[in-house]
Amino acid sequence: MTENLCIRCGKPRIAAKSWKEKVIYSGMVSVVEHTEYVCSDKECQKLVEKELFSRHQNSLKIAGAKLAREMDHKRKMVDLRLAKSSR
């Protein structure tokens, strides 16, 4: 087992909760066990969650901007194609 240490303070993390989830993969049902680890330091864990949340929000923003750029690019391609075919 790999050591599970907090990304912020380096303290060992503890299993907060675990649950089993059924996964259907190519017709086979298998049960996957998930475990959520949290920092043993409650205050630190709060900060870690905050950090993860803002990072997640940020990555969503980046992904959204990228998608918007791609859509814009595609639209331009279509516009060009339309311009060509109308000639």
Under the criterion CB under 5 A, does residue 9 sit at the interface with Zn ion? yes
> Of these, 4, 5, 8, 67, which contacts Zn ion (CB under 5 A)?
8
> Of these, 12, 28, 37, 39, which contacts Zn ion (CB under 5 A)?
39
Among residues 47 and 63, whose Cβ is nearest to Zn ion? 47
Among residues 53 and 68, whose Cβ is nearest to Zn ion? 53
Q: How many CA atoms lie within 13 A of 67 on its CB side?
A: 6
The CA distance from 13 to 16, in Å, is 9
CA-nearest of 3, 18, 8, 14 to 49 is 8
Q: Which residues bind Zn ion (CB under 5 A)?
A: 6, 8-9, 11, 39, 41, 44
